[in-house]
Structure 1
């Protein structure tokens, strides 16, 4: 029974990686930012009408990009896991962690712009700190699993922000 639970834990970690440890603090910060904007709108909301149409357009574009990147990455990740291979194409050619990037670089800033609650950006900051803490654990696991191939990939592809090196 104990071995079975340990195996389930490792399977869960293999699927989710360190994601829950990174996203929980970000979700908490987003909730607190939203609550702060609701409780003290004069402090935590953008000024009324502040670039409203442009801000909303850019915000929705970021939110849609987040969903697209997340699901594209998830589909590719599931396929690669099923085939037990390292995927370095598609969203993984842009960033090593497309699902985390979707949340931290696109979704939370997009939600801040759409809602006008600038404090929601704190979620990206909290998530970034959690990412800095937990991503090395995930990357060590990938190095153990894929060796030099992952090392080469890590040298060529940025972690979160899709900026060519």
Structure 2
């Protein structure tokens, strides 16, 4: 049983064995979401309550996002595998933040966007964080999961049965 829906398409797993993607989509999508949130906010305001408590929570979210991403990067480095979504994985990492989420770095990206929305009291960041999550799942996570399945097979399937894709 696969950890994801292939949408009725053939997986073409051999194509994913070498590497999951040609582009590092998640950071590009996240940066685009932040820029779009700012631009949309300049044209049409979509305000959140401008409360000191929400701004403080936003700061905590941003700091937590950075902490999660650093923790995940250090965990991947300790396992001697790549952090780059365009490179082949050498080891299946299931410890550290990867024991809680199969995609802690991408969770960190979204937490960062949500935190910015709270800091700047702009719901556009929340809208674009949701859009980024959908796009990252479609153009990065699903390809990465095919790659990991092609490389690690049953070991990856067992990991998927224990750990959720997001949270």
TM-score under structure 2 length normalisation: 0.75
Cα distance, 1:45 vs structure 2: 2.6
- Structure label with greater radius of gyration: 1
Alignment-derived partner of residue 101 in structure 1: 107
**Structure 2 contact 58–118 (Cα < 8 Å) conserved:** yes
Are 2:65 and 1:74 equivalent residues in the alignment?
A: no
Distance 2:142 2:121 in 1: 33
Task: Indicate how the Cα distance of structure 1 residues 19 and 160 shifts in structure 2: closer, same or farther if over 3 A, else same.
Answer: farther
**Structure 1 contact 25–123 (Cα < 8 Å) conserved:** no
Question: 5+ residue gaps in structure 1?
Answer: 1-9
Aligned-partner SS, 1:132: helix
Cα distance, 1:132 vs structure 2: 2.6
Are 2:21 and 1:22 equivalent residues in the alignment?
A: no
State the Cα RMSD in Å: 2.4
Question: 5+ residue gaps in structure 2?
Answer: 1-16, 83-89
Alignment-derived partner of residue 36 in structure 1: 40
The size of the alignment, in residue pairs, is 143
Structure 1 runs of 4+ aligned residues shifted over 6 Å read none
Task: Indicate how the Cα distance of structure 1 residues 62 and 151 shifts in structure 2: closer, same or farther if over 3 A, else same.
Answer: same
Equivalent of residue 130 in structure 1, options 135, 157, 164: 135
